[in-house]
């Protein structure tokens, strides 16, 4: 069974641009969560989608948004990039969400110049 895949693996953008990251969950998984990992703030929850609906959202500004498609693939978008958005963005998938094992993807390394 294929694992969680994330594309692209690396991105370099400049301040003010926007970016879209993609996550394909394990087949059959309906929950997709997104996390931001930085040396200073650690791992922080962005949001979670289940069956195309956002079920929970972390404390991030509205520049961070996401969506999920009918095949459970998910995208997250960051608009008006800031230097502080440079991070490793991880997505995780599971069958139902709460309590299930979360399977993580390799992440997308975003660098904002």
Partner 1 sequence: AQTVTQSQPEMSVQEAETVTLSCTYDTSESNYYLFWYKQPPSRQMILVIRQEAYKQQNATENRFSVNFQKAAKSFSLKISDSQLGDTAMYFCAFMNHNTGTASKLTFGTGTRLQVTL
Query: Any contact of residue 55 with partner 1 (CB under 8 A)?
Result: yes
Candidate segments 16-24, 68-76, 77-85, 96-104, binder of partner 1 by CB under 8 A: 96-104
Nearer to partner 1, 49 or 112 (CB): 49
Least Å distance between CB 80 and partner 1?
A: 25
CA dist 61 and 37 (Å) reads 16
Answer whether the bond into residue 105 is a cis peptide, omega within 30°: no
CA-CA-CA-CA dihedral for 20, 70, 51, 100, to nearest 10: -80
Can residue 42 be called a binding residue for partner 1 (CB under 8 A)? yes
Q: How far is the CB of 16 from partner 1 (least distance, A)?
A: 30
Task: Give the residue from 57, 46, 39 showing the smallest Cα distance to 23.
Answer: 46
- In the complex, the smallest distance separating the C-beta of residue 98 from partner 1, rounded to whole angstroms, is 5
Binding site for partner 1 (CB under 8 A): 3, 31, 33, 35, 42-45, 48, 50, 55-56, 58, 90, 92, 94, 96-107
């Amino acid at each position: 069974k294929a694992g969680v895949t994330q594309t692209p693996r690396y991105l370099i953008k400049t301040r003010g641009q926007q970016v879209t990251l993609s996550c394909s969950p394990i087949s059959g998984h309906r929950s997709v969560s997104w996390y931001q990992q930085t040396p200073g703030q650690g791992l922080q929850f962005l949001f979670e989608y289940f069956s195309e609906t956002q079920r929970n959202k972390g404390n991030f500004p509205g520049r961070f948004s996401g969506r999920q498609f009918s095949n459970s693939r998910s995208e997250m978008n960051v608009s008006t990039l800031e230097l502080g958005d440079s991070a490793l963005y991880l997505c995780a998938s599971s069958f139902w969400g709460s309590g299930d094992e979360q399977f993580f993807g390799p992440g997308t390394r975003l660098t904002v110049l």
